Amino acid sequence: MEAAILDGMSEPGIDERIPDWTTADDLSRIGIEALFDADPLGRALASHGNIRIAGDGVSGSSAKVTEVARVMAGFQRLATAVGAAQAGDKALGKKANVAVTRGTELLLTAAPAPGSILLTLTPALAPTDETGPAGMLDEFETDDQMLDTAVAAAIDVFSAGNDIGPVPDKSSFVHQLGDMGPRTASAVRDFAKTLERAAFDIDIDWKQPSRTTRRVRVTARAARHMAYVVEHANLDEQPVVIVGEYLTVSAVSAWVIQQDDGDAVTVKLGRIDPSQTRGLAVGERIRVQAIMKTETTAGGNTKTTYTAQSFERLAAPD
């Protein structure tokens, strides 16, 4: 028997047919899933994952409902932000498109565990509903759901965040979030701040059929450092241009600008010295180069801020 197994493992192309695994549990799970998901017409089994919450914010198997809800809302925002980034949409200030929102929606089952709370996550969308029936162009099809790649990327970011090192700007954490854009960076920052405020240490795992389990542990202390690095590396900022009418009578601390689309926004002066605004009249058109940031508050609301970097007066429209 041993000789037969060894001969089989030496067959050409065996590495392409045997999925990666890291633990005996993974190997057992993958084997069982292979029996249940042997349909040649497409994937049938769904992925699932867990977030185990422990730490000083958990007493026995209980924690504040509001804090647990913020963890789940933050993780959902992060999964959607990563999914949007992988689809090429990385900008702040707008919602991800319907396909991304639908493809990254999670369902939740909660249960107590010794000294912790266990949250089990599954995709709201079944694999067959997302990928559709297998077609003639099988070489272009994939067994990955959008959540598989999004959660895996999020786990990679948190793993990198646990190993930032003494020079954050050169870390994999900063480089990965830089590639993913400010929306994902903001979601990571908000999620990390939620863990810090709640004093939660969490373990995240994600089990995709026929793939090794992806895992990461994030402590409240590590989360605080991740949020700090995101903010000080300016990963959560996006340059924007604001054009409209200057409405503020006093320009000491902030302006109110009526944009051409009709929305009024408040812009902090930032690098602009108040002396530069002398002679600026109410109703005058200006163009402002600003930095945009969004933040999810402890109450769950989204706060958007604009900080001016420079401005110029514009000629009145004909």
Give the model confidence (pLDDT) of 4-41 as tens digits: 444 544 555 444 444 565 665 665 555 555 555 555 55
166 and 45 in a common domain: yes
Residue 58 pLDDT: 94
Lowest mean pLDDT among 21-35, 96-110, 123-137, 216-230: 21-35
State both tokens at 250. Answer: 């006093």
Residue 166 pLDDT: 94
Domains: count for the chain: 2
For 156, residues 6+ apart whose C-beta sits below 8 A from its C-beta are: 176
Decide if 198 is inside a domain: yes
Structural domain boundaries, residue 169: 22-132+143-232
Other beta carbons less than 10 A from residue 78's beta carbon? 25
pTM: 0.82
Report the alpha-carbon distance of residue 29 to residue 317 in Å, rounded. 67
Decide if 16 is inside a domain: no
Decide if 138 is inside a domain: no
Q: How far is CA 232 from CA 88, 168, 298, 308, in A?
A: 25, 9, 21, 18
